[in-house]
């Protein structure tokens, strides 16, 4: 049987800020069977792939290559020949010092279809995030992007320094840090003034972005003094003087913070990103349906006998209505039943099914639920009131026990459970070791305990210097029992309130 060849997408992932990935790039990434990716991109992008794609790391970092270019080319060809859609995911733009042109040539030679999805190059993004426009009507009407790693003393250089030095308004050198003294010398000796403004932007668009300014005459000394290392972009030109007025990214209130999120998905944390933080998803918990649906199915069969259905989370809403439909029932059978939602997010999820929420307790804990129902039945009491509480497989018994003690009948069928996902923590370990995580969030004791299991014996040490934010006293107690300090606990047990508390904490600390 002949296998039709797959297609290859050469996708630029941008320089680091995950938000700079294009819509088209994301679409092709989501449909890829194989993703071959580099080091200099935000690996959080890979979280957008929800199916079982094959990942091949082809990283190139500081001259250390996991795969040679020939091996990368062969891997792309081999996977496409297997009939798979291949996403060749590259930092920045594939055709700007990304060797995407060479890879495209190989694909043509092998009769493999391909598409190119341009990415935002660090040559443009790093200066922009540092507040430096490459062109400006009063300062520069042209710019050039030049590799900075070439030996400037070699014969037959591909760079004509005599024309470059004075023929272009703004110069952007990539990968020039190790060679910066020679780059500056060549520009000065070929007519660029020694007092020409220069900026070095390291890790542009990321929380650890550092911008250093000087002149052609002194920039090499400043780079050594401040120990600036690759990767960095070098910008030469009068536009650099605009930085003090136009810098915006580094002035954001949460610039410099990288927040680790240990639950599935990062919904609710967007405000932190808008304020300059980077949110890193490292899910230590996965929500799945329970294995045995006997109890919940019986309750659904008798659904009309209940006075109330209590749903305590968005997950509970999803899995309850999924099971309702899967068993051949529908929402018409819920007529006359009161709905209680723990938290506004849960209430919003219920309303999406066209169902009114009748009760939302003021306190998002078991004690708050007891108070809410006692208030509803303060005159006639709870005797004979039937409540359905579909919930997680492992849950506290405070509310059910109290309601039974007050005379109510309550069924608590397990609906979903939390499991530890099959992930490795090597990349997160590196970020924690290098002190690149400033805030860690835990939404339950399970997210913390699973984190410790994944990280191994050094888990607690990794968190010693990290600000810890949690939801709920149970989570706080689980963490403090391990000898760690919990810094942020919102009054209300919601993601929104935790995010607000993190913002308040960051504002109180300054930068």
Is residue 469 domain-shared with residue 349, that is, in the same domain? no
Q: pLDDT category, 60, cuts 50, 70, 90?
A: low
280 is catalytic: no
Residue 157 confidence class, pLDDT cut points 50, 70, 90: confident
| Domain presence at residue 25 | yes
Mark whether 411 is an active-site residue. Answer: no
Q: Which of 38, 84, 254, 402 is catalytic?
A: 38
Q: Could you tell me if residue 252 is inside a domain?
A: no
Catalytic residue among 5, 33, 60, 318: 60
Say whether both 404 and 486 belong to one domain: no
In a domain, 251, yes or no: no
358 is catalytic: no
Q: Do 338 and 487 belong together in one domain?
A: no
In degrees to the nearest 10, what's the CA dihedral of 293, 296, 297, 299? 160
157 inside domain: yes
* 511, pLDDT greater than 70: no
Coil, strand or helix: which one is 5?
A: coil
Q: What is the pLDDT of residues 483-494, one digit of tens each?
A: 999 999 998 888
Same domain, 311 and 413: yes
| Contact of 478 with 445, CB cutoff 8 Å | yes
What tens digit of pLDDT does each residue of 333-360 get? 999 999 999 888 899 999 999 999 999 9
Higher pLDDT, 177 or 40: 177
Mean pLDDT (whole number) for 141-162: 83
φ, ψ for residue 65 (rounded to 5)?
A: -105, 125
Residue 266: domain span: 258-285+420-509
Asked whether residue 274 falls in the same domain as residue 293, the answer is no
500 and 398 within one domain: no
DSSP readout, 119-177? Answer: ---HHHHHHHHTT--S-BTTTBS-EEEEES-S-TTSTT-S--HHHHHHH-SEEEEES-G
Domain boundary among 390, 417, 444: 417
Domain co-membership, 32 together with 143: no
Same domain, 366 and 479: no
Answer yes or no: is 32 within a domain. yes
Q: Which one is catalytic: 17, 90, 93, 175?
A: 175
**In this structure, is residue 2 part of a structural domain?**
no
Closest CA to 482 of 459, 456, 450: 459
Distance of CA 271 to the CA centre of its chain: 13
Q: Are residues 449 and 348 in the same domain?
A: no
- Position 1 scores a pLDDT of 55
Task: Mark whether 91 and 136 lie in a shared domain.
Answer: no
> Residue 22's CB: how many other CB atoms inside 10 A?
16
pLDDT digits (tens, 9 = 90+) for 213-236: 999 999 999 999 999 999 999 999
Q: What is the CATH number of the domain that holds 489?
A: 3.40.50.10090
Q: Given pLDDT bands bounded at 50, 70 and 90, which one contains residue 396?
A: confident
Q: Which pLDDT belongs to residue 449? A: 94
User: How confident is the model over 74-122, as pLDDT tens digits?
Assistant: 999 999 999 999 999 999 999 999 899 999 999 999 999 999 999 999 9
Write the DSSP string, 25-94: HHHHHHT-SEEEE-SSS-GGGGGG--S--EEEE--EETTEESS-HHHHHHHHHHHHHTT--EEEEESB-T
Domain for residue 377, yes or no? yes
Residue where a domain terminates, one of 402, 417, 432: 417
Task: Report how many domains make up the chain.
Answer: 4
| Same structural domain, 301 and 376 | yes
- The CATH number of the domain holding residue 62 is 3.40.1010.10
The beta-strand segments (E) located in 142-295 are 143-147, 170-174, 197-202, 210-215, 232-236, 258-261, 278-281, 286-289
What is the model's pTM? 0.84
Residue 3 gets the label, from left (phi > 0), alpha (psi -120 to 50) or beta, of: beta
Q: Which residues make Cβ contacts (< 8 Å) with residue 27, sequence separation at least 6?
A: none
Q: Tens digit of pLDDT for each residue in 435-463?
A: 999 999 999 999 999 999 999 999 999 99
């Amino acid at each position: 049987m002949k296998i039709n060849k797959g297609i290859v997408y050469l996708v630029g992932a941008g320089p680091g800020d995950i938000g700079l990935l294009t819509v088209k790039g994301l679409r092709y990434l989501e449909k890829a069977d194989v993703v071959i990716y580099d080091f200099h991109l935000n690996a959080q992008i890979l979280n957008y792939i929800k199916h079982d794609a094959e990942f091949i790391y082809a990283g190139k970092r500081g001259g250390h290559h996991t795969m040679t270019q020939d091996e990368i080319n062969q891997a792309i060809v081999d996977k496409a020949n297997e009939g798979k859609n291949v996403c060749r995911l590259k930092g920045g733009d594939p055709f700007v010092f990304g060797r995407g042109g060479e890879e495209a040539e190989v694909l043509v030679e092998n009769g493999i279809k391909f598409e190119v999805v341009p990415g935002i190059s660090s040559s443009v993004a790093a200066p922009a995030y540092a507040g430096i426009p490459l062109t400006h009507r009063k300062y520069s009407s042209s710019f050039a992007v030049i590799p900075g790693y070439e030996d400037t003393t070699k014969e037959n250089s591909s760079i004509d320094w005599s024309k470059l030095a004075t023929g272009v308004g703004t110069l952007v050198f990539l990968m020039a840090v190790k060679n910066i003294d020679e780059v500056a010398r060549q520009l000065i000796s070929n007519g660029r003034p020694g007092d020409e403004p220069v900026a070095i932007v390291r890790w542009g668009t990321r929380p650890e972005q550092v911008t250093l300014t000087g002149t052609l005459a002194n920039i090499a000394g400043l780079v050594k003094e401040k120990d600036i290392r690759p990767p960095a972009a070098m910008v030469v030109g009068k536009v650099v003087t605009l930085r003090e007025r136009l810098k915006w990214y580094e002035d954001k209130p949460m610039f410099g913070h990288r927040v680790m999120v240990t639950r599935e998905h990062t919904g609710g944390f967007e405000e932190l990103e808008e304020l300059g933080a980077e949110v890193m998803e490292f899910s230590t918990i996965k929500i799945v349906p329970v294995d045995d649906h006997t109890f919940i199915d019986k309750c659904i069969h008798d659904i009309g006998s209940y006075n109330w259905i209590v749903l305590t989370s968005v997950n509970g809403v999803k899995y309850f209505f999924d099971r309702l439909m899967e068993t051949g029932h529908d929402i018409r059978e819920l007529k006359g039943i009161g709905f209680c939602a723990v938290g506004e997010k849960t209430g919003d999820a219920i309303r999406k099914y066209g169902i009114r929420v009748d009760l939302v307790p003021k306190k998002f804990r078991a004690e708050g639920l007891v108070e809410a129902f006692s208030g509803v039945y303060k005159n006639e009491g709870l005797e004979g009131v039937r409540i359905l509480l579909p919930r997680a497989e492992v849950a506290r018994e405070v509310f059910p026990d109290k309601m039974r003690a007050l005379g109510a009948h309550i069924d608590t069928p397990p609906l979903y459970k939390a499991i530890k996902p099959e992930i490795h923590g090597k990349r997160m370990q590196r970020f924690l070791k290098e002190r690149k995580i400033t805030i860690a969030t835990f939404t339950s004791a399970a997210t913390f305990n699973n984190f410790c299991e994944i990280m191994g014996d050094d888990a607690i040490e990794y968190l010693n210097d990290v600000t810890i934010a949690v939801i709920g006293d149970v989570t706080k107690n689980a963490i403090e029992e391990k000898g760690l300090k919990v810094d942020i606990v919102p009054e209300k047990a919601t993601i929104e309130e935790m995010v607000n508390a993190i913002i308040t904490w960051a504002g109180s600390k300054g930068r």
